[in-house]
C-alpha cells in the first residue's frame, strides 16, 4: 500500500484491508478488544452500489494524488494502534484534510473518495468546447489573490484548455483543485454523531474552497435513484440548475456513493459559503464551486444553503 490506488474501488479495498489488519493486530495484543459493529450502510446514510457502475463512467480529469497541492496532513483517532495502518492511505484519500475522531471507532467516512466529477455515460454529454477566454476579454472574475472580485456574479467563466493563456493564468482557480486545508471531525450535534467539516485556518471572504464532486447524471436518472435513497441520501443529489444552452441536458450530481469532503458541508439558512456555477472545459456542464461569502475563522464549520432542504 505504498502507492495510491488506481481507482476508487481499489483504494477502498486497500484501506479496508489495512483497517482489518490493524484490528487483528490489536486483538493479538489485547484480547479484550472487539471492534464496534458498524451500522449498516443504509442506516448510516450511505448506499452500496454495484462496482460495475463505476466501470461505465469516466473521471474527467483523473485524480492528481501527486499534485503539489496534496498535503502531508495528520490523522487523529483515539485508537493509536490503527493510526500507522491507515495514516498514509487517509492522507492520499483525503488530501489536505485532517481527520479527527474522539467519539467512536469510525476510521473515516464510508465513501469512495473522488476529487473530480465522474461523468456517467447515461448523462449523454457531448462535451462541446467552451472557447471563451475571459482573461483576454479583460473580464476575469478573480483578483490578484485569486479571490472573487464580485460575489454577486451569476456564474464564473474560467480560462480552459482551448485558451491561449498559460496554465498559471490568474483566471484558473477552480480547475487547480483545493488548496485550503480543512478538518473533517466527528462531532456530537444535538445528540446526533456526525462528520463536520471545519476551517483549519482563517479563510478570507471570496476564497475558493472546493467543488461538489460525485456522479454527473441526468435529472431523470437522479429521480429514479432517489426512489431507493433515504431522506438523508436524497439531500446529497444536487441539481445543476444553471444552463447556458437551451438544448443542454438537465443534470444533477449524485454524491451518495462517490464524492469528496464537500458532501459533509452542513446545510444552513445563514451559510458562510455559496455555490457558483463555473465553466471552463465544456458548455454542456459546469462545476459547482464553493466560495466563502464571509471571513471564516479557524474551527468554524463550513455551511451552505442546500436547496434540497429549502432555505
Domain count, the chain: 2
Is 282 found in the same domain as 142?
yes
215 within domain boundaries: yes
Q: What is the pLDDT of residue 111?
A: 80
Q: What is the pLDDT of residue 304?
A: 95
Residues 35 and 66 in one domain: yes
Same-domain pairing of 155 and 13: no
The range of the structural domain enclosing residue 226 comes to 118-179+202-304
Residues 83 and 106 in one domain: yes
Domain closes at, from 96, 112, 128: 112
Give the domain-ending residue among 67, 82, 112: 112
* Residue 166: per-residue pLDDT: 86
Residue that terminates a domain, selected from 60, 88, 112 = 112
161 and 294, same domain (yes or no): yes
Tell me: the pLDDT tens digits for 84-102? 444 444 555 677 888 888 8
Q: Supply angle C-alpha 309, 108, 14, rounded to 5.
A: 125
Residue 2 lies in a domain: no
Same domain, 103 and 140: no
Q: Evaluate whether residue 252 is within a structural domain.
A: yes
Low pLDDT (below 50) residues in the chain: 1-5, 8-9, 11-12, 15-16, 19, 22-23, 26-27, 29-89, 311
Whether residues 155 and 80 share a domain: the answer is: no
Query: Does residue 54 sit in the same domain as residue 135?
Result: no
CATH number at residue 280: 2.170.270.10
Pair 161, 68 in one domain: no
Same domain, 97 and 131: no
Does residue 58 sit in the same domain as residue 106?
yes
Per-residue pLDDT tens digits for 244-256: 555 566 889 999 9
Q: Which three cell numbers stand for residue 173?
A: 482557480
**What average pLDDT is seen over the chain?**
73
If asked whether residues 167 and 289 sit together in one domain, one would say yes
Amino acid at each position: 500500500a505504498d502507492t495510491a490506488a488506481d481507482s476508487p474501488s481499489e483504494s477502498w479495498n486497500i484501506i479496508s484491508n489495512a483497517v482489518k489488519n490493524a484490528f487483528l493486530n490489536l486483538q493479538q495484543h489485547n484480547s479484550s478488544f472487539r471492534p464496534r459493529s458498524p451500522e449498516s450502510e443504509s442506516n448510516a446514510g450511505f448506499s452500496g452500489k454495484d462496482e460495475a457502475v463505476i466501470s461505465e463512467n469516466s473521471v474527467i480529469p483523473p485524480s492528481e494524488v501527486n499534485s503539489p497541492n496534496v498535503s502531508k496532513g495528520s490523522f487523529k483517532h483515539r485508537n493509536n494502534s490503527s493510526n500507522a495502518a491507515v495514516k498514509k492511505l487517509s492522507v492520499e484519500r483525503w488530501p489536505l484534510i485532517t481527520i479527527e475522531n474522539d467519539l467512536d471507532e469510525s476510521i473515516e467516512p464510508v465513501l469512495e473518495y473522488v476529487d473530480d466529477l465522474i461523468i456517467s455515460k447515461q448523462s449523454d454529454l457531448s462535451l462541446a468546447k467552451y472557447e471563451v477566454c475571459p482573461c483576454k476579454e479583460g473580464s476575469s472574475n478573480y483578483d490578484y489573490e485569486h479571490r472573487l472580485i464580485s460575489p454577486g456574479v451569476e456564474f464564473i467563466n474560467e480560462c480552459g484548455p482551448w485558451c491561449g493563456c498559460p496554465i498559471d493564468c490568474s483566471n484558473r482557480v477552480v480547475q487547480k483543485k483545493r488548496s485550503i486545508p480543512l478538518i473533517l471531525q466527528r462531532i456530537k450535534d444535538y445528540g446526533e454523531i456526525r462528520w463536520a467539516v471545519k476551517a483549519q485556518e482563517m479563510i478570507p471572504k471570496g476564497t475558493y474552497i472546493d467543488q461538489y464532486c460525485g456522479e454527473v447524471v441526468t435529472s431523470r436518472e437522479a429521480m429514479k435513484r432517489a426512489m431507493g435513497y433515504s431522506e438523508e441520501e436524497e439531500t446529497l443529489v444536487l441539481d445543476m440548475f444553471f444552463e447556458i444552452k437551451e438544448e443542454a441536458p438537465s443534470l444533477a450530481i449524485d454524491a451518495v456513493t462517490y464524492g469528496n469532503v464537500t458532501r459533509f458541508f452542513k446545510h444552513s439558512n445563514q451559510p458562510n459559503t455559496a455555490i457558483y456555477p463555473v465553466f471552463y472545459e465544456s458548455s454542456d456542464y459546469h462545476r459547482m464551486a464553493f466560495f466563502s461569502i464571509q471571513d471564516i475563522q479557524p474551527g468554524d464549520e463550513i455551511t451552505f444553503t442546500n436547496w434540497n432542504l429549502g432555505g
